[in-house]
Structure 1
Amino acid sequence: MKFNKIILTLAAILISSNLFAEMNLSKINELPIISIGKEKVTYEQLEKAYQKNISKQKENLFLLEKDSLLDFVNLYSNYRLKVQDALARGLDKDSAIRAESLQNRKILAESFLFEKELSEPNINQMAERRKIEYKIAVIFTTFPQVPVRDTSVAFKKINDAMAKLKAGENFANVARNYCDDENLAKKGGVVDQWITSGKISREIEDAIYTLNPGEFHPSIIVTAYGYFIVKALERADRMNVLAGHILYKQYIRPEDSLNIGDLVYPALKRIRNGESFEEIAKKESSDQYTGENGGKFAEYYSRSTGFEKNKSMLEPNFVETLFELKDGEVSEVLTTELGNHIIKRFDTKPVNMEEEKDDVRKIYRKQYFEHDKIKFLDKTADEMRFSINNLNLIELVSSMDTTMNNISKTWADSIPADVKQKNLFTIASKSYSVNDFISEMFTNPKLKGFATNNQGITNAIKKFIEPQVIEFATHNLENKYPDFKQLLSEFNDGILLFKVETMEVWDKLKFDSVAAEKYYNTNKANFKTEPKFDVDEIYVLSDSLAQEIYKKVLNGENFDTLATQFTQRTGYREKAGKWGVVSGETNKLGKIVLAMKVEDPIVLAPQKLENGFTIIKVNKYFPPRQKTFEEAIPDFASRLQEQTQKKLLNEWLENLRKKYPVKVDSKNVEKVIKFGKEKR
């Protein structure tokens, strides 16, 4: 009894300490850290801003050292000062800025809407489902994959199969008799590969994830490829397994594998007797890639998604044998088409869904997003009382050549004048005539390429109304999603900040020749010309030829004549090898001459250069000299501009701090620092 009381007391202490930690964080978030004029900034606001900083040093602001935290506080204060100045000037009411803000809202709202309404919930559902995997069996009846198809035979067959299942017949037997896939039918409908979210069509996946092992879904599942009945055979938590094998490859017919067995069974016996699996793999495995690593595969493996990175799948029998093992266990001999395997299961780890989130997002965007977007827009359009006048649509289509599309300039020529005046569709109590639609088709590039048949015109109408539908769907986003309101506010603040900083700093950055000359006179000793050389060259690919030419030069033969005759550098034979004046710091010939500290006219012995040899004649050396003011301007103009920009910015901020005093609550900063130390 006393022991139970102690346990309960400890549990209470642990629970209360956790609550206390959470309460502390909540209180830290509420602490006012800065006041900027009348604006108060809490720690929570600073933390949110810090989280958007791509170069953040620590995971949280409170984990920073005091100096770094105060640096960020100062940075944020400057940002808010600039925004306050912009608002005080009434820039938020400027027509150009308001137009830019509205355009930004339109772009942000659309992407935010689809992220929150479609991507986020569906990706979260897929991620949750991918913690689980199923072994399934199916019965499948197919119909012709043509635009106009008769599905009645496939539908009757699948209904007959369902009736037998509901009457209690064995699923495997029904699958053998009714499944249109011959291979599946032979196996009683059993699918070799385990299934998880994103690995099978969504209609089937949705049904699978409602089942317990041994159950079949009571409804027939309709897909684009045919009709399905699905049964859950097994359900398990997904795991990633690190596997390895020793392969004794079968080079001849399977029935002649005795020589392989002569190797594999003794190897298995040696492992059972304590010899190292890894050492045997290194010496004997026919799989050179895993053999070098002691038989281990390079990546962990999931039986429903494959290897972690390359996603390739192992042979089903291999996988089944592997997952029957426990960590550290070695299998009996398994024969596949590749040969005989001894399999070892090295390690197991749970699936990390944070690491898989990117994969899930890609799967969703590729397979489901567009479909979900169309459904969402159709549903929203219905809320706007969208309707197409089908009789007038039929009359419109009947008047056109339906083999064309609207890229042709003449696609609408055959439409009678009276048809053009008729109502084609209505949305949000506003009607659009055929003529309205035709005009939009000619002028809107997003409506190009649609067929002029019934389906094509219907799709074009939906594309026509899409901006209205999205505007309707996003009109209340700020109230529905506080995050969007905050995001929009930050974007608008960014526009204001850019505008006011342009006015106060960038527009005032003009080249000041007086300041520039003063800067030059103070620092002119730092501005020197490069060392330069006037050079000619003979370039050849052969070392022996280069040496022969060099001897000719030393014996007095004319360098220009030899260059015209021998140099192999493209474009230089006709110039007698003349390069003119080149830099000793950036030119490849100049670098060689500078490195040899040449200052007098000379012909240098052949030097290795690129894929050949160069003989350089130095005609004249131009030593470094002090640059004139005009020559030095490119060297310091950007530096001077940067200094001026900083000066203007600091003067502006200094004036703003007088107008909107910035006060940092040092006591609350200390509380944040203390909290951070406790969390480290």
Structure 2
Amino acid sequence: MLSKNRQFDEKGEKLTEKEFEENFQLFIDYKLKVQEAEALEMDQSEEFDREFSAFKEDLKRPYTLETSLQQGEVRKAYGRMHEMLHAQHILLRFPPNSSKEDSLAVLRMALSLKEKIENGEAFGPLALEYSQDPSVTANEGDLGYFTALQMVPAFEEAAYQLKIGEVSSPVLSEYGYHIIQLLDKKTNPGQVKASHILVRLDPSDPASIDRARRKISDIYAALQKDKGSWNEVCKTYSEDTSTKDQGGQLPWFGVGDFVDEFENAAFALEVEGQISAPVQTSYGFHILKLDGKKPLPSFEEMEKSLQSKVLRANRSHIIQSQVTAIQKSRYSYSENTPIMNEVKKISRTEALKSAAFYQKLKDRHLLDSSLFSIMDSAYKVRQFVDFVKEDMVVVRESKSNDAWVDKYIEISLENTEEADLLANNEDYRLTIQEYRDGILLFNLMNENVWQKALLDTAGTMDYYRSNAAKYQWGDRVEALIVTVIDPSLSNPIMKFLQNKSYSPSLKDKLEDYLLDESPMSYKIETGVFEKDSIPALRNISISPKLQKTQAGQKAYILVLGKEIPAGPKVFEETRGKVIQDYQEYLNRSLLEKLKESYLIRVNEDEKERIKHIVVAEK
């Protein structure tokens, strides 16, 4: 705990012997309170369990296999982002409600197309004839340039393994089988910031295209004559209503964020302020102006956005599958296949939370059978039934109830990993212990000290009466205190206050008088003040009632009222201080009680060993 905020191998970071002893005593007090909280079974309450479980989930995350694999995927994605791929593909989808035979037929077709391409047949015509990608009619299977996290995981994985010109084996994704050919690789140019002027067109109307072409040509000619008129021209003629009033400005973008024709034109511009010739896309005709270029951001800058993309549903599912596979291997997972198949078979005919499901398992004597084992511990069917009934997790809808079994296996493996971390990862174990003890300490203190002092009115009043000597006013005086910041105001203020007696309303009258003056040139306070606590009042006599004084570097003008002799403070005048002192009293009383209740033994040799490490030599 001492090492959290200090590096004791550096001389300047070491403690004095007094600091060490103070910290050692605080550590004992801390452990005593945790021990007492455990003795009171505060760690057994539902409230504690709920709070600790929430903390534990966050604390566990950095240590888990899942986080390690996620971080690996994030770094892999960033590494791939330095490279752009240009590929074309043919997509063969599965027919609705396809059978195993249907899937094999699609695979055979994919293999046949791969062979045709490798034998020299042109990719484009084959894509037009066979590909079921909706965009094939427009691009003949050509996907243009893309980088990491812009394609589905299986497609990306396969594409990044290919050499230029190489054709992939059939790649299975959620869309079907892909045949991919890599056409080119190049360095990622980073990001570009551009503005554009858009003239829209109707692709199905030749006359619309011709009108748009003439209009964009006229706009381009006008810009060539006066490039400084960009904002005005954009506002007048651009048909992109979301950007025209901002000079057509777009956010920073990289390759793959917009249509190819637009991106190619933007990245081809080299000098800030340079304007492109008109470019046609599916949206219309554009003229682009370059506002800036920058390389791919650093990993630190991109980490959060990459993490968000990696955790999207399909990639998250892949990572979870990898986690489960590693956990099964690491923790000696073994499945009782006959029992597992029998349970799954029943679950497909009966609702898992129904009495019928339970009854069938009972009738077939399956409840006490082992479903699977982890680390030689058997997980029985009965435990699975209890897991479903608890309904503590979200399970995705599925055509069968197998998802519940898979989730039970997943949760069981996660619990085993957590137990493994607690047993074998000292850093994690100490972190968890510290948070657990911290919650217990807070709960004990809240119940016995903080809230008790706030709610125990009788106890607070008894403490106040027993310690009345601590809550005394010194000599006080009614006073208007003017701190004169601008010396030129001193005489006008003195003139205004001449022959005026102290009253609380005098402040408002003086402020009205000084209305035309800067409020930074003076400060006015009024009230009853302890003479010894206010520098301006400390060494003055009560007469005359109006006087100038100096304290330190500041000048003051005072109007004095009634003098009030020293005396006791009523409870309401010192309530906050009494409660604070009562809390400290309750804390001391609690520690005295605990030190009487528990035997404290100190290993002096170990204490000296630690002292030698953390205390500076004299």
TM-score by structure 1 length?
0.58
Displacement of 1:241 after TM fit? 0.9
Amino acid at match of 1:407: K
Is the contact between residue 460 and residue 579 of structure 2 (CA under 8 Å) also seen in structure 1?
no
Is the contact between residue 14 and residue 615 of structure 2 (CA under 8 Å) also seen in structure 1?
no
Identify the residue that residue 301 of structure 1 maps to in structure 2: 253
Displacement of 1:364 after TM fit? 2.3
Identify the residue that residue 207 of structure 2 maps to in structure 1: 255
User: Is the alpha carbon distance of 1:481 and 1:666 closer, same or farther for their aligned partners in structure 2, counting shifts above 3 Å?
Assistant: closer
User: Is the alpha carbon distance of 1:477 and 1:645 closer, same or farther for their aligned partners in structure 2, counting shifts above 3 Å?
Assistant: same
The reply to whether residue 326 of structure 1 matches residue 270 of structure 2 is yes
Distance in 2 (CA, whole Å) between partners of 1:195 and 1:318 is: 14
Is the contact between residue 136 and residue 190 of structure 1 (CA under 8 Å) also seen in structure 2?
yes
Is the contact between residue 118 and residue 167 of structure 2 (CA under 8 Å) also seen in structure 1?
no
User: Is the alpha carbon distance of 1:266 and 1:223 closer, same or farther for their aligned partners in structure 2, counting shifts above 3 Å?
Assistant: closer
Secondary structure of 2:246 counterpart: coil
Task: Pick the aligned partner of 2:27 from 67, 83, 108.
Answer: 83
User: Is the alpha carbon distance of 1:666 and 1:27 closer, same or farther for their aligned partners in structure 2, counting shifts above 3 Å?
Assistant: closer
Is the contact between residue 126 and residue 197 of structure 1 (CA under 8 Å) also seen in structure 2?
yes
User: Is the alpha carbon distance of 1:386 and 1:289 closer, same or farther for their aligned partners in structure 2, counting shifts above 3 Å?
Assistant: closer
Displacement of 1:162 after TM fit? 1.6
Secondary structure of 2:143 counterpart: coil
Is the contact between residue 339 and residue 366 of structure 2 (CA under 8 Å) also seen in structure 1?
no
Deviation digits for residues 215-236 of structure 1, max 9, x if unmatched? 4354321112211122333433
Displacement of 1:452 after TM fit? 12
Identify the residue that residue 404 of structure 2 maps to in structure 1: 460
In the TM superposition, what are the counterparts of 1:468-483 in structure 2 within 5 Å?
468-477=412-421, 483=427
Deviation digits for residues 293-323 of structure 1, max 9, x if unmatched? 33322x112232x3xxxxxxx4432222222
Task: Pick the aligned partner of 1:136 from 57, 62, 87.
Answer: 87
The reply to whether residue 226 of structure 1 matches residue 170 of structure 2 is no
Secondary structure of 2:371 counterpart: strand
Which consecutive residues of structure 1, in runs of 5 or more, have no partner in the other structure?
A: 1-25, 41-76, 307-313, 527-631, 669-680
Displacement of 1:203 after TM fit? 0.9
Is the contact between residue 179 and residue 185 of structure 1 (CA under 8 Å) also seen in structure 2?
no
Identify the residue that residue 308 of structure 2 maps to in structure 1: 362
Which consecutive residues of structure 2, in runs of 5 or more, have no partner in the other structure?
A: 1-5, 478-569, 596-601
Identify the residue that residue 348 of structure 1 maps to in structure 2: 293
Amino acid at match of 1:376: V
Task: Pick the aligned partner of 2:158 from 207, 220, 223.
Answer: 207
User: Is the alpha carbon distance of 1:344 and 1:465 closer, same or farther for their aligned partners in structure 2, counting shifts above 3 Å?
Assistant: closer
Task: Pick the aligned partner of 1:410 from 356, 364, 374.
Answer: 356
Task: Pick the aligned partner of 1:487 from 418, 431, 454.
Answer: 431
In the TM superposition, what are the counterparts of 1:96-115 in structure 2 within 5 Å?
96=41, 107=57, 108-109=59-60, 112-114=63-65
Amino acid at match of 1:359: S
Secondary structure of 2:277 counterpart: strand
Distance in 2 (CA, whole Å) between partners of 1:92 and 1:165 is: 76
Displacement of 1:142 after TM fit? 1.2
Distance in 2 (CA, whole Å) between partners of 1:189 and 1:89 is: 70
For the aligned residue pairs, the C-alpha RMSD in angstroms reads: 4.9
In the TM superposition, what are the counterparts of 1:364-443 in structure 2 within 5 Å?
364-367=310-313, 368-396=315-343, 400=346, 402-415=348-361, 417-420=363-366, 423-427=369-373, 428-431=375-378, 434-435=381-382, 437-438=384-385, 440=386, 443=389
Task: Pick the aligned partner of 2:114 from 141, 151, 162.
Answer: 162
In the TM superposition, what are the counterparts of 1:497-576 in structure 2 within 5 Å?
498=442, 505-506=449-450, 509=453, 510=456, 511-514=459-462, 516=464
Amino acid at match of 2:428: F
User: Is the alpha carbon distance of 1:81 and 1:273 closer, same or farther for their aligned partners in structure 2, counting shifts above 3 Å?
Assistant: farther
Secondary structure of 1:230 counterpart: strand
Deviation digits for residues 441-498 of structure 1, max 9, x if unmatched? 5753348989999x52x54344444454224323443687665355335425634653
The reply to whether residue 198 of structure 1 matches residue 178 of structure 2 is no
Distance in 2 (CA, whole Å) between partners of 1:485 and 1:436 is: 28
Deviation digits for residues 186-235 of structure 1, max 9, x if unmatched? 6331115x4232222111111222345x2435432111221112233343
Farther off after superposition, 423-432 or 137-146? 423-432
User: Is the alpha carbon distance of 1:466 and 1:39 closer, same or farther for their aligned partners in structure 2, counting shifts above 3 Å?
Assistant: farther
Amino acid at match of 2:103: T
User: Is the alpha carbon distance of 1:221 and 1:346 closer, same or farther for their aligned partners in structure 2, counting shifts above 3 Å?
Assistant: same
The reply to whether residue 243 of structure 1 matches residue 226 of structure 2 is no
Identify the residue that residue 580 of structure 2 maps to in structure 1: 642
Is the contact between residue 138 and residue 228 of structure 1 (CA under 8 Å) also seen in structure 2?
yes
Aligned length: 483
Distance in 2 (CA, whole Å) between partners of 1:79 and 1:232 is: 65
Amino acid at match of 2:159: I
Distance in 2 (CA, whole Å) between partners of 1:451 and 1:259 is: 52
Displacement of 1:171 after TM fit? 3.8
Secondary structure of 1:154 counterpart: helix
The reply to whether residue 285 of structure 1 matches residue 237 of structure 2 is yes
Displacement of 1:349 after TM fit? 1.3
Identify the residue that residue 30 of structure 1 maps to in structure 2: 10
Identify the residue that residue 76 of structure 2 maps to in structure 1: 125
User: Is the alpha carbon distance of 1:370 and 1:84 closer, same or farther for their aligned partners in structure 2, counting shifts above 3 Å?
Assistant: farther
Distance in 2 (CA, whole Å) between partners of 1:414 and 1:183 is: 51
Deviation digits for residues 553-609 of structure 1, max 9, x if unmatched? xxxxxxxxxxxxxxxxxxxxxxxxxxxxxxxxxxxxxxxxxxxxxxxxxxxxxxxxx
Distance in 2 (CA, whole Å) between partners of 1:217 and 1:482 is: 49
